[in-house]
Amino acid sequence: MKILGIETSCDETSAAVVEQEIVHSNVVQGQLELHAAYGGVVPELASRAHITHISAVVAAALRQANCEARALDGIAVTVGPGLIGGLLVGLTVAKGMAIAMAKPLIGIHHMEGHLMSPFLRAAHEPMPGCDFPFVALLVSGGHTLLLYAQRFGHYQLLGQTRDDAAGEAFDKGARMLGLPYPGGPSIAALAMGGDPTAIRFPRAWLDRNRFDFSFSGLKTSLRTHLLNHPLETTPPQAQRDLAASYQEALVDILASKALAACREVGSQRLLVAGGVGANQRLRTLLQQRAERIQLLVPPLPLCTDNGAMIALAGLHRLTLGQQSDWSLNVRPRWPIAELNDHSS
Ligand code: KG4
Ligand code: ZN
């Protein structure tokens, strides 16, 4: 089956053609320059940029895959969670194509797309060896979820953030450190050559709900530290130490809780996906501590938002006989637990 996947939930306009788990094309048009001056994504600017780029991005995805639209078996599109304006752009295009060509339309949960990203591969690459069941740590700019995925479409929520998402904690920390958006790669770059043990930032273990996350205390500690040690008077090495220590606190919590969840449910596999999944220090910590647990991670370019992951989730939904009707609408807030209602 060949599926076109469309993703416009945040600040990436993306379309991809995926056949089984093979990525034939994956076009991603980012908007970094557009939002740079604001230190974060401005929803209205994002929507307008999606409108500008979506047709060319879809056309490029089909062209690069050497695939005519008529040859598609279905069109998958992110319908939520995400920014309403962006979601509407993607859905409008997907619906228009599906109706015009009488193709199945499949509305996809953005985080289910991330969850499927480690299963993707290029045509010349070997099978990545991913399989259900697994514990999934899904860490993006909008979500921090710890799930037990028994099979596709059946997800047990083990924990989630009570305040900021992990990516948001990177983004807000970066802003305080005077670093550009997105904050994750900025902090990771400054942290290189820094000492992660220089400053002992607090870790919120939340003993009662030990698979939940909270990053607000960590953020406040950084703010307090910067009040006492202003950035302007902090030498370059101390700035690197600061970034490394902040990053360490974040990834230590993520890695510790994800591995504890694997032990709790007896899972031999841990899948890590979403933008923060690209963090090298997180990957290293997990590798060091995972022992007999197999780590399932996507290649770096597939960690952040892309159409290929949406296409693959759509392909699996379609295989289960699930498709959306023409009344499909966006769902800017869509709890992942609700996906279980549709599982076969
Ligand atoms: O999944 P994603 O592309 O978009 C959302 O669904 O939100 O994730 C974007 C988030 C941003 O917060 C960004 O700072 C973070 O992922 N990110 C990283 C890295 N690359 C992207 N965080 C830590 N380290 C990275 N290397
Ligand atoms: Zn995402």
Residue-level pLDDT at 231: 96
User: Ligand 1 in contact with 275 (CB < 6 A)?
Assistant: yes
User: Ligand 1 in contact with 180 (CB < 6 A)?
Assistant: no
Residue-level pLDDT at 342: 52
Q: Which of 167, 204, 200, 174 is nearest to 189 (CA)?
A: 174
Residue pLDDT, tens place only, 126-143: 988 899 999 999 999 999
Q: Is the peptide bond before 180 cis (omega within 30 degrees of 0)?
A: no
Residue-level pLDDT at 341: 62
**H/E stretch holding 168:** helix 166-176
**H/E stretch holding 33:** helix 32-36
Structure-token pair, residue 282: 């997180």
What interhelical angle do 166-176 and 236-265 show, nearest 10?
Answer: 170
Q: What are phi and psi of 307, to 5 degrees?
A: -75, -25
Q: Please give the distance, rounded to the nearest whole angstrom, from the Cα atom of residue 149 to the centre of ligand 1.
A: 22
Structure-token pair, residue 28: 């991603």
- Cα–Cα separations (whole angstroms), residue 48 to 53, 90, 95, 110: 9, 12, 19, 20
Let me know how many helices (H) and strands (E) the chain has, helices first. Answer: 10, 11
8-state DSSP, 37: T
Residue pLDDT, tens place only, 255-296: 999 999 999 999 999 999 999 999 999 999 999 999 999 999
Model confidence at 97, in pLDDT bands (50, 70, 90)? very high
Sign of CA dihedral 97, 64, 87, 19: positive
Strands 74-80 and 2-7: parallel
161 vs 233: CA distance, rounded Å: 34
Q: How far is CA 331 from the centre of its chain?
A: 17
User: Ligand 1 in contact with 83 (CB < 6 A)?
Assistant: no
Q: Which of 283, 279, 309, 285 is nearest to 296 (CA)?
A: 283
Instruction: Using CA atoms of 304, 306, 308, 310 in order, give the dihedral in degrees to the nearest 10.
Output: 100
27 vs 41: CA distance, rounded Å: 20
Residue-level pLDDT at 343: 43
User: Ligand 1 in contact with 278 (CB < 6 A)?
Assistant: yes
Strands 121-122 and 105-109: unpaired
Average pLDDT over residues 72-92: 98
pLDDT at 61 over 90: yes
Q: Please give the distance, rounded to the nearest whole angstrom, from the Cα atom of residue 102 to the centre of ligand 1.
A: 36
End-to-end CA separation in angstroms for the chain: 20
By the CB criterion, residues less than 5 angstroms from ion ligand 2 are 140, 305
Ligand 1 pocket mutation pick from 304, 306, 333 by most atoms within 8 angstroms of CB? 304
Report the SS3 class of residue 151. Answer: strand
Q: For residue 38, with 0-12 CB atoms within 10 Å meaning exposed, 13-18 middle and 19 or more buried, which class applies?
A: exposed
Domains parsed from the chain with CATH numbers: 2-120+302-339 (3.30.420.40), 134-297 (3.30.420.40)
Ligand 1 pocket mutation pick from 13, 138, 140, 190 by most atoms within 8 angstroms of CB? 140
Residue pLDDT, tens place only, 208-243: 889 999 999 999 999 999 999 999 999 999 999 999
Q: Which of 302, 303, 320 is nearest to 106 (CA)?
A: 320
β-bridge mates for residue 4, sequence order: 17, 75
State percent of the chain over pLDDT 70. 99
Residue type (1 letter), 215: F
Q: Which of 204, 187, 141 is nearest to 168 (CA)?
A: 141
User: Ligand 1 in contact with 323 (CB < 6 A)?
Assistant: no
User: Ligand 1 in contact with 141 (CB < 6 A)?
Assistant: yes
Average pLDDT over residues 110-133: 95
Nearest ligand to the CA atom of 273 = 1
**188 CB-near residues (< 8 Å, 6+ apart):** 247, 279, 280, 281
User: Ligand 1 in contact with 142 (CB < 6 A)?
Assistant: yes
pLDDT at 85 over 90: yes
111 vs 217: CA distance, rounded Å: 26
Atom of ligand 1 nearest to the CA of 9: 6
Nearest ligand to the CA atom of 282 = 1
Instruction: Tell me the average pLDDT of the chain.
Output: 96
Q: Please give the distance, rounded to the nearest whole angstrom, from the Cα atom of residue 305 to the centre of ligand 2.
A: 5
Atom of ligand 1 nearest to the CA of 170: 14
User: Ligand 1 in contact with 182 (CB < 6 A)?
Assistant: yes
Residue-level pLDDT at 39: 86
26 vs 309: CA distance, rounded Å: 9
Query: CB-hemisphere CA count at 13 Å for 52?
Result: 12
**H/E stretch holding 255:** helix 236-265
Q: What is the pTM of this model?
A: 0.97
Residue type (1 letter), 28: V
